Structure 1
Amino acid sequence: MSHKSDVRQRVFRDLRQVAFPDSRFHFDFGEFIADFQQREAATERLVAHRYYQEAKVIFITPDNCLEELRHRALQDGKQVLMTTYSIKRGFWLLDPAEIPEDRYLYAATLDGMERMGRAVTLAEIRQMPKTDFMVTGTGAINEAGIRFGKGHGFFDAEWGMLFRIGNIDVDTPSAALVHDCQVLAEELHPEVFDTVSDVIFTPTRTIEVSAPHKPTVGIVWELLDQEMYDTIPPLQELCRMEALGQV
């Protein structure tokens, strides 16, 4: 864990040269995933990929660098499943059929998504079509697809919850969209709960990952931080569902 922290800090120093500050967190990359220069080129690579082209429902994290992708997905008629505020206000669905077209851009923002989208519980997500593609930003990632996010494990928790209720499976592809300076050559090994990306998109490269690890453990409750459980309602909902034998 200390090695991961050292890597993050090194990457964050480089990222500061190309990242756009957040209106709330400035350059505190431990609190948000930054947008960055030439992000448009990385987004174009992603939307041209077959994973995006074939997807009807896409989970897209609420990262600053993915706002344009959320907008593009709505324009392309895709449903966008996402979370907001560290999952603390749960999962939300942006359905282009339910949002006026001239409000797509607003809906793709963190301020607009809760006004234009609708909150969905895990029980409701179980009844929805399966998610076809998972996309996240991250603090750093190596060429084997192992992410170093902000260190909170939100994407792995989101994967674990959706996997546990059957909304995704081991064949569901996941991608990371990052700046080139965030891609590392260092060799690391994923933890049992780490979701390794199938493909990495940068402004200059598309990196396909061979045999990426996909966790099948759901939520490892004994390893879950108590504060995450206490502050994230979907985790509490999943715990109740498991206790009642509903998943």
Structure 2
Amino acid sequence: MNGKQIQEAKQAIRERIWMLLEKERAVNANPEGRIPAFVGADAAAALLAAHPSWQSANVIKAVPDRAQMPVRARAFEEGKRVYMAASKLAAQKPFYLLDPETLAISPREAAERHTAARYARPVDLDEMPHVDLVVCGSVAVNYRGVRLGKGAGYSDIEVALLHEAGLIGSSTLIATTVHELQVVDEELPEAGHDFRVDLIITQDRVIECSPYRRPPGIMWESLTPEAIEAIPVLASRRP
């Protein structure tokens, strides 16, 4: 498939999953166009917290989506430092540092993206330490770890930036929390800039995927000039 065909195939699957989640009342809000805020997100966060990769992690990079809010809250509550991406990576410093040692707010407040944007310290890549665990959201994911996001591509850019900056390596685990209905037993379309996840955590189980796959950095040819200009951290690094 060419690039256009891959995007069309991805979108068809997203729409199918969004409709299924709504039909089965497995979401807390209209999921269309979003990472679904799924029923059971707290249970999935608890299962992730029981995994050895979580227990050994001190620094976590998490997405700002509502579905992963329980993950961010639990990390903050357990004293872990959380780096959360700014909305659409549109800030000059594209990540927020949620540090339990410096933020005198509750874990739930810290995990709420609008609160974090107000109180947390913005940081650039060169201010970040090595990341022990990456947590992302997904619309659909299969047993090989191939995932579909909501279609904007921000998670792929975040992971590529971290990899390029040496903040994650090929052995750094990437986890996604999803509803059981989002786990599919089928091939999913995949582009060259897409990363795969190592762990899938639902409200009921943990699925370990292998082998992992991720690009070594930003694949500039996959980005339009408009997309680069809209993200300062990319515009400043454009070759």
TM-score exceeds 0.5: yes
> Cα distance, 1:235 vs. partner?
1.2
- Normalised by the length of structure 1, the TM-score is 0.88
Work out the number of aligned pairs and report it: 229
* Equivalent in the alignment of 1:110: 113
- The 2-side partners of 1:190 and 1:160 are apart by 16
AA matched with 1:95: D
SS class of match (1:150) = coil
AA matched with 2:28: F
- Which residue among 80, 89, 92 is the counterpart of 2:96? 92
* Equivalent in the alignment of 1:179: 179
RMSD: 1.5
Residue-by-residue CA offset, 1:57-113 (whole Å, 9 max, x unaligned):
00000011111111110111100011121211221111111111x433212101110
Q: Does the 8 A contact of 1:58 with 1:80 survive in 2?
A: yes
* Equivalent in the alignment of 2:3: none
> Cα distance, 1:51 vs. partner?
1.1
* Equivalent in the alignment of 1:60: 62
SS class of match (2:213) = coil
Residue-by-residue CA offset, 1:183-211 (whole Å, 9 max, x unaligned):
11112464332110001001112111021
Q: Which runs of 4+ in 1 moved over 6 A?
A: none
SS class of match (1:86) = helix
- Normalised by the length of structure 2, the TM-score is 0.91
- The 2-side partners of 1:191 and 1:149 are apart by 12
> Cα distance, 1:131 vs. partner?
0.3
- The 2-side partners of 1:114 and 1:188 are apart by 34
- The 2-side partners of 1:28 and 1:212 are apart by 27
* Equivalent in the alignment of 1:230: 229
> Cα distance, 1:167 vs. partner?
0.8
AA matched with 1:60: A
- The 2-side partners of 1:189 and 1:7 are apart by 9
Query: Percent sequence identity over matched residues?
Result: 35
Q: Does the 8 A contact of 1:173 with 1:198 survive in 2?
A: yes
5+ residue gaps in structure 2? 1-5
- Which residue among 78, 92, 106 is the counterpart of 2:80? 78
- The 2-side partners of 1:40 and 1:238 are apart by 37
